[in-house]
Amino acid sequence: MEFIFVILFFIFFGWIVNAVLGTLRAAGKAAIGKGTLKENLELEFRGMGGLRARITQNQKPGQPFFLGVEARGLFPIYSNTTVGFAISVLVKNDAGDLAPVLSMIKEFQEPGSRAFQDLTNCGEASPNQGYLNWVQIGAIPTEILQPPSGGKHQLNIVVRLVDINNVPSIDLGYSDPSESLWTGIETYDYNFEVSGYLEEAEHKDKAQSLTIKIGMAVAMADGTLEDSEGNILKKWIVSALSHHTGEKRESIKKTYNDAMKEAYSLSKSGNLILSDVCSELNKYADNTLKYEALELAHKVMAADGVVDEREMKIIHKVAESLGIDSNELEKIRDKQIIKLQTKADDVDIDSLLGVDPSSGKTEICKKLKNEFIKWNSRLTSLSEGEEKDNAQQMLDLIGKARKKYDC
């Protein structure tokens, strides 16, 4: 009996010694910065533990802020596997459903969408292997993220351990959990200062409704809507609707058609205030949408094949109100002018050539010289036909303008 107690004593004493030594080792590691005391105690007594993830904040001097994603623990694998981590980000939309956060940079996007994804190859691992300490396995550069709507959001950061040779299908942040080796979700509160993609889509719809009104204003410059001009507007609406389907398409189609009818009615009665339309467009449109509006205006102007002085004046007024760069306006204009008849008695030469009579003789003559060089070069490169005839008409107009300003 005493012999048994001796054995039990040594077993118990051995356990205490191991516990003390383990505690000392853990404390030693914590003392030199290798994890906290609690973390290292867990490591000594429980091993690596199950795989888990955490989020860290990172901002080095001179570099943008980003969230680090770290992992620690045993990989739940049963044979040699080339492992990696796939990270997605979801937030709740206005309906309370989890929706994907998009990335503005291709390198951080899913293969088939703009949804954020960071995929890191961590190499080959064997069973019973993992990370003893916290290791960064991914990064989320917050400046490239775009949520459904701006403002404060709780980021749901989905961390998946995957087989790099058989990466699961991840679509808009979602995948079948059974296709991943392990999945964890961490949260982080973040305030987005950018507009959300749903907000941008709404802004785009509003901007395109205003674009239709600008197109109608150009078409109605002479008081009538020609069939050719109406067809240009209808084709533009069909093209704008091509990105939508189902109920959304029908809803936006009605919005665009209503905008066209309203603009026609107001133009006919002389009550379409173009400055108000442009002011609204400035609220909702980026430069791309503004250029799109100017391009439609020029297409409407070109619909009947003849440059109209009243149409050109409206286009220049719109361009000025929208703050369109003169060089960009010139590119848009030239694409359509080459298709038009520009007889000297039909047009306002200054408006057509983008000449500001108040800019002084030196600037005007410099502008006209550059226009002559550009159109003369085009004339020599064109084959016989209508476009070459129109280019010659432009040169005739430029010659008339140079004579007018004594260049």
- Domain at 302, CATH number: 1.10.3680
Measure the CA–CA gap between 331 and 344, rounded to whole angstroms: 21
Task: Give the residue-averaged pLDDT of 109-125.
Answer: 93
Domain identity same for 53 and 165: yes
Of 153 and 38, the one with more pLDDT: 153
- pLDDT reading at 33 higher than 60: no
SS3 of 9-55: the string is HHHHHHHHHHHHHHHHHHHHHHHCCCCCHHHHHHHHHHCCCECEEEE
Domain identity same for 174 and 216: no
Give me the count of residues in the chain.
407
Task: Give the residue-averaged pLDDT of 221-234.
Answer: 92
| Residue 338 confidence (pLDDT) | 61
Domain identity same for 380 and 404: yes
Q: Are 150 and 194 in contact (CB under 8 A)?
A: yes
Task: Give the residue-averaged pLDDT of 122-143.
Answer: 91
| Residue 405 confidence (pLDDT) | 81
Domain end call among 137, 161, 194:
194
Instruction: Report the C-alpha dihedral over residues 103, 106, 109, 111, rounded to 10 degrees.
Output: 150
Task: Give the residue-averaged pLDDT of 263-280.
Answer: 94
| Residue 24 confidence (pLDDT) | 29
Please report how many Cα atoms fall inside a 13 Å half-sphere around the Cα of residue 371, on the Cβ side.
30
Domain identity same for 64 and 179: yes
Residue with the two structure tokens 């029908």: 250
| Residue 337 confidence (pLDDT) | 67
Weakest-pLDDT range from 18-27, 60-69, 262-271: 18-27
**What's the pLDDT band for 166 if we cut at 50, 70, 90?**
very high
Task: Give the residue-averaged pLDDT of 224-232.
Answer: 92
Domain end call among 147, 175, 194:
194
Domain identity same for 217 and 140: no
Domain identity same for 310 and 346: no
The letter for the amino acid at 275 is S
Residue with the two structure tokens 């356990």: 15
How confident is the prediction for the chain on average, in pLDDT?
82
Weakest-pLDDT range from 2-6, 84-88, 249-253, 348-352: 2-6
- pLDDT reading at 342 higher than 70: no
| Residue 160 confidence (pLDDT) | 97
Dump pLDDT digits (tens) for 83-95. 999 999 999 987 8
- pLDDT reading at 348 higher than 80: no
**What's the pLDDT band for 370 if we cut at 50, 70, 90?**
confident
Q: What Cα–Cα distance (Å) separates residue 197 from each residue in 101, 155, 245, 292?
A: 9, 16, 18, 19
Range(s) of the domain holding residue 141: 49-194
Domain identity same for 156 and 222: no
Weakest-pLDDT range from 14-23, 299-308, 342-351: 14-23
- pLDDT reading at 182 higher than 80: yes
Measure the CA–CA gap between 88 and 162, rounded to whole angstroms: 13
Domain identity same for 81 and 173: yes
Which residues fall within 8 angstroms of residue 139, CB to CB, at 6 or more apart? 58, 66, 67, 68, 69, 118
| Residue 17 confidence (pLDDT) | 30
Domain identity same for 401 and 304: no
Domain identity same for 208 and 118: no
- pLDDT reading at 236 higher than 50: yes
Q: Of all residues in the chain, what percent carry a pLDDT higher than 70?
A: 84
| Residue 400 confidence (pLDDT) | 82
Residue with the two structure tokens 């939309």: 93
| Residue 383 confidence (pLDDT) | 76
Domain end call among 333, 362, 385:
333
Q: What Cα–Cα distance (Å) separates residue 30 from each residue in 18, 134, 345?
A: 18, 14, 89
Domain identity same for 24 and 125: no
- Among 245, 329, 263, 334, which Cα is nearest to 293's? 329
| Residue 259 confidence (pLDDT) | 95
End-to-end CA distance of the chain, in Å?
124
Query: What is this structure's pTM?
Result: 0.56
Task: Give the residue-averaged pLDDT of 188-215.
Answer: 92
Residue 154 sits in a domain of what CATH number? 2.60.40
Task: Give the residue-averaged pLDDT of 385-395.
Answer: 75
Domain identity same for 62 and 187: yes
Measure the CA–CA gap between 38 and 391, rounded to whole angstroms: 81
- Max distance between CA atoms of the chain, in angstroms, equals 127
Pairing between strand 81-92 and 145-146?
A: unpaired
The domain total for the chain is 4
Which residues fall within 8 angstroms of residue 145, CB to CB, at 6 or more apart? 89, 101, 102, 103, 104, 116, 192
Task: Give the residue-averaged pLDDT of 244-256.
Answer: 90
Dump pLDDT digits (tens) for 292-325. 999 899 899 888 776 677 888 898 899 999 998 7
Instruction: Report the C-alpha dihedral over residues 257, 259, 262, 264, rounded to 10 degrees.
Output: -80
| Residue 47 confidence (pLDDT) | 64
| Residue 61 confidence (pLDDT) | 77
Task: Give the residue-averaged pLDDT of 176-205.
Answer: 92
| Residue 256 confidence (pLDDT) | 95
